[in-house]
Amino acid sequence: MKLNIFRTFLLALVIGVASCETLDLDLQENPDSLNLESANVDLVFNTIQFNFLNQMRGSDNLTDQSIRLVNQFGTYTPGQGSMNGLWSTTYNTGTNIQALETFAERDGYTFHLGAAQVILATMYVNLVDYIGTAVFSEANSPNEFPNPGLDSGEEIYAAAFAMIDEGIANLQGTGRAPLNDLYFGGDASAWVKYANTLKLRMYLQTRLVSPSESTAGINALIAGGLLIDEISEDLQFQYGTNTAPIESRHPLYTGNYINGAGGYMSNGLMSYMKDSMTVTDPRMTYYFYRQTDRDLSSNPSGLLPCAGDASYDFCYIGDMYYGRDHADNEGIPNDGNLRTTYGIYPAMGAYDEGAFIAASQTSAQGNGIHPLHLSSWTQFMMAESALTLNTTGDAAVYLEEGMRQALGKVRSFSPSNMTDAQIDDYVAEVLAEYVAATDAEKLDIIIREWYISSFTSGMLPYNNYRRTGYPSFLQSPVIAAGAFVRSYFLPESELNSNSNEDFNSQKQVTDQVFWDTNPAGFIN
């Protein structure tokens, strides 16, 4: 969906605190005490949509380094406040949804409420997947529960399923579409497909603890046919090109194309995509942009600190791809205009056609996307469930469709230099590998292809890694990086403000969420 992102950001600013639409300076009421009579249902919904983006993107950003989609600098250990923002965004959304419930009951805005319920259910699932618990049954009721307690992950998953069903029912009501549906352009049926796809994710995520329930649930969803399973149905956020007064370009663009590259790409991922098959992954020139043709392998002026260090698996992978090995914490040289950075997909940086010029000197625009759920991911979900749970369908067929949709999604970013022959050759080689593989190897291949398709979106790969231990090609840390984070800390902000006994002590990052039944030390 195309949207006027500048206008959208202005709308978000208007409702940043109170969801107030009036700009009349001769106010008859205290602006700090605005109520539903002075609120606008579309602006409240708009805030919820931006909260959704922020929580999803924040979750992705939190784990795309540990899961090796980009380089992790140093140890795994997260900060005590690493979950503060994702936590507060969830409960701010809950407050806004209470307002939408009144709007729906009073004025019939069921579409707004239904979509918001699906969004909030997603946010709660994300909290459980990352922390293992959250405040749910006592949430957003400060008068009754000034210091709310935690619910178990199992309880919240069950409540999220119920919330999704309520959302679907409301989406199927008669309420008008929001004026600014940033994701599906006012198509209620598309929101229903996402709601069902969220259920699919949850059933797959819990397959180790409730295989029979997961099998029945997934089969019912496949039979229903209302899933995000075509590229045209993808859930994504579209960025713009405006720079002022509101910056609307993709954060990965602004962080890497204005003042030099701000981070490093993963040598492990780049090496795998470049060298592991007889054909180079066609997405290489879309995912990664090489800024220089200088050969840094001789380490002039210390620009390649890892050179000559036998503890590194890669250091330099060749062909002017300059990234870093997993957890490499060497000093940062003046290489912001030399290191490989993000390409045209998904941030609308530059397409790598071998020009070898600094990213800041390209004509890239930054009007890319943040993928929230792609159709290819649905295909990989169904492939995993068919292989491990014997659900409806052929895992190999789902795998092939997932690969073709993933490659087609990337090719849609101009210039469309990826050829049909390149796609066919890539898919054929993976399928030949799959046919010859054991069941364990087949699962590794499915999760690997899902992983590669998830570039810049670390949340589901993080969940997949804890659930399956795959993909197996992920590089081990080149330093003593500490324990891999099986779940994140309770938010420091809540520990400091909530006197409920549930918040008397901090949890450990080695604690496992309820659906992760794999052994301690299972992954690193």
pLDDT at 38: 61
Q: Does pLDDT of 467 surpass 60?
A: yes
Query: What is the enclosing helix (H) or strand (E) of 12?
Result: helix 5-14
CATH class of the domain defined by 5-24+31-247+485-503: mainly alpha
Q: Does pLDDT of 272 surpass 60?
A: yes
Q: Structure tokens of 276?
A: 């592991």
Task: Give me the percent of the chain exceeding a pLDDT of 70.
Answer: 93
158-172: pLDDT as tens digits: 999 999 999 999 999
pLDDT at 26: 33
Average pLDDT over residues 492-507: 96
Reported as a pLDDT band with limits 50, 70 and 90, residue 397 is very high
pLDDT at 298: 80
Reported as a pLDDT band with limits 50, 70 and 90, residue 398 is very high
Q: How many CA atoms lie within 13 A of 373 on its CB side?
A: 26
Distance CA 461, CA 54 (A): 18
Average pLDDT across the chain, whole number: 93
Backbone angles phi, psi at 258, to 5 degrees: -110, -55
Average pLDDT over residues 204-226: 98
- Spatial contact of 381 and 453, defined as CB atoms under 8 Å apart: no
Distance CA 344, CA 347 (A): 6
Q: Structure tokens of 144?
A: 């009754």
pLDDT at 301: 76
Q: Does pLDDT of 36 surpass 80?
A: no
CA-based torsion, 355, 357, 362, 364: positive or negative: positive
- Range 205-210 contact pairs with CB under 8 angstroms and sequence separation of 24 or more: 205/129, 205/463, 205/467, 205/515, 206/157, 206/515, 207/385, 207/388, 207/389, 207/467, 208/467, 208/515, 208/516, 208/517, 208/518, 209/514, 209/515, 209/517
Average pLDDT over residues 394-406: 98
Please give the DSSP secondary-structure letter assigned to residue 512. Answer: -
pTM of the model: 0.93
280-310: pLDDT as tens digits: 999 999 999 999 999 888 877 789 999 989 9
pLDDT at 302: 84
Average pLDDT over residues 166-191: 98
Q: Does pLDDT of 383 surpass 80?
A: yes
Domain with CATH 1.25.40.390 in the chain: 5-24+31-247+485-503
70-95: pLDDT as tens digits: 999 999 999 999 999 999 999 999 99
Where is pLDDT greater, at 107 or 29?
A: 107
Chain-centre distance for alpha carbon 298: 37
Distance CA 237, CA 369 (A): 5
pLDDT at 35: 62
Average pLDDT over residues 250-278: 97
Q: How crowded is residue 459: how many other Cβ atoms within 10 Å of its Cβ?
A: 22
Backbone angles phi, psi at 392, to 5 degrees: -60, 135
Distance CA 399, CA 377 (A): 10
Query: What is the enclosing helix (H) or strand (E) of 220?
Result: helix 211-224
Domain with CATH 1.20.120.840 in the chain: 374-468
Which architecture characterizes domain 374-468 according to CATH? Answer: Up-down Bundle (1.20)
pLDDT at 37: 66
Q: Does pLDDT of 1 surpass 90?
A: no
pLDDT at 68: 98
Q: Does pLDDT of 454 surpass 70?
A: yes
Q: How crowded is residue 6: how many other Cβ atoms within 10 Å of its Cβ?
A: 17
Distance CA 194, CA 202 (A): 12
Distance CA 305, CA 308 (A): 9
pLDDT at 18: 32
Reported as a pLDDT band with limits 50, 70 and 90, residue 27 is very low
Distance CA 496, CA 417 (A): 53
Q: Does pLDDT of 14 surpass 90?
A: no
